[in-house]
Copies of this chain bind each other. A is one copy, B any other.
Amino acid sequence: MVAVCDQNPAALAQFAQANPSIKTYADSKEIINSPHIDVIAIVTPVSTHFALAQAALNNGKHVFVEKPFTDSVAHAETLIEIAEQKNLVIMVDHTFLFTGAVAKIKELIDNQDLGKIYYYDSTRVNLGLFQHDINVIWDLAPHDFSIMNHVVADKPVALAACGRAHVSKFEDIAYITVFFNSNLIAHINVNWLSPVKIRSTLIGGEKKMLVWNDATDDEKLKVYDKGIDVTSKEGIYDLLVSYRSGDIWTPKIDKREALKQECSYFVDCVANNKKPTNDGRAGLQVVRQLAACDKSLSLNGETVVL
């Protein structure tokens, strides 16, 4: 890292004192226009992502953009187009993909350990922090969308979102249901007004089920050898359901620091001209889902096709 820009003079001064070898700028143009800089990380409010990333890409910089990628589908598409024309890397900061837990979940699903996926059910609630320019969906659901898009093979085809704003004009609580062509169903519960912090994802499969509790330090992921076997389906009363309830397994999870992994991966993608998993298209998919949520919210929960 060679330079940092922050519009807040106090924050910039504090950084400068602690990191004397790194240049600091008050104006982002100085970084964007610098011929000595190859790569720019944009960690700013979402409404500013597009202009900064566009300028950076147009100046030939690879960009790493905080989630959510952009504030609109059109903006995301434009950035992807520029990057492709100029052969530049866009990486969107979907940090969770680089945690040991998500890597293990993807491995379990890819290996068919869970079997056909029945549902993906995430609860991500806590008290605050209220954002000033976006609702709770744009703040918290990018985590869930990016993880779900990454680990579930089926493609979402529609979604519906309901929410309410109690404290500001932005929704502080919302429920999102996501539909697929299969009978997989996904659900995301986000809330800025919960007295307790919950980070819990249940994934139910035909063969096994898992619970990922990200609010604990240990034993975050548990795989349940549980399920239901239906022996007969002829007639309502002939349904013979048997329950399997076997061992529970808490796999060891790599405790690597996700952000560090992600940065190494970004450097590798730039150096070797690779397309990241969490590239602009992955970012666009999440933005498309967030925008569909907003549309559904404005239609009182009507289902919106993706």
The size class of the interface chain A forms with chain B is 35 or more
Which B residues touch A262, using CB under 8 A? none
What is the count of identical protomers in the complex? 4
For residue A27, CB closer than 8 A to chain B, the reply is no
Cβ-defined contact, A301 with B165, below 8 A:
no
Could you tell me the distance between the alpha carbons of A225 and B162 in the complex, rounded to whole angstroms? 27
For residue A54, CB closer than 8 A to chain B, the reply is no
List residues of A (106-122) whose CB comes within 8 Å of B's CBs.
118-119, 121
Which B residues touch A187, using CB under 8 A? 175, 189
List residues of A (169-210) whose CB comes within 8 Å of B's CBs.
169, 173, 175, 177, 179, 183-185, 187, 189, 191-197, 202, 204, 206, 209-210
For residue A303, CB closer than 8 A to chain B, the reply is yes
Once A162-B177, A189-B121, A228-B130 are accepted as A-B contacts, the answer to whether A194 and B202 lie under 8 Å apart by CB is yes
List residues of A (49-95) whose CB comes within 8 Å of B's CBs.
none
Cβ-defined contact, B185 with A163, below 8 A:
yes
Q: How far is the CB of A243 from chain B (nearest CB, A)?
A: 5
List residues of A (199-258) whose CB comes within 8 Å of B's CBs.
202, 204, 206, 209-211, 218-219, 222, 224-226, 228, 230, 233, 236-237, 239, 241, 243, 245-252
Could you tell me the distance between the alpha carbons of A156 and B120 in the complex, rounded to whole angstroms? 28
For residue A38, CB closer than 8 A to chain B, the reply is no
Cβ-defined contact, A193 with B118, below 8 A:
yes
Q: How far is the CB of A211 from chain B (nearest CB, A)?
A: 6
Q: A187-B189, A245-B252, A249-B249 are in contact. List 20 more A-B contacts (CB 8 A).
A: A20-B20, A118-B164, A119-B173, A128-B241, A160-B160, A160-B162, A163-B185, A164-B183, A166-B183, A168-B239, A169-B233, A191-B202, A193-B228, A194-B202, A195-B222, A196-B218, A196-B224, A247-B250, A247-B252, A248-B249
Kindly list the 7 A-B residue pairs having the minimum CB-CB distance in the complex, ordered from nearest.
A195-B224, A248-B250, A195-B209, A164-B185, A130-B241, A195-B226, A162-B177
Some 25 contacts from A to B, beta carbons below 8 A apart, are: A118-B166, A119-B164, A119-B173, A119-B191, A130-B228, A130-B241, A132-B236, A132-B239, A162-B177, A164-B183, A167-B228, A168-B233, A168-B239, A168-B241, A173-B204, A187-B189, A191-B202, A195-B204, A195-B209, A222-B250, A247-B250, A248-B250, A249-B249, A301-B301, A301-B303
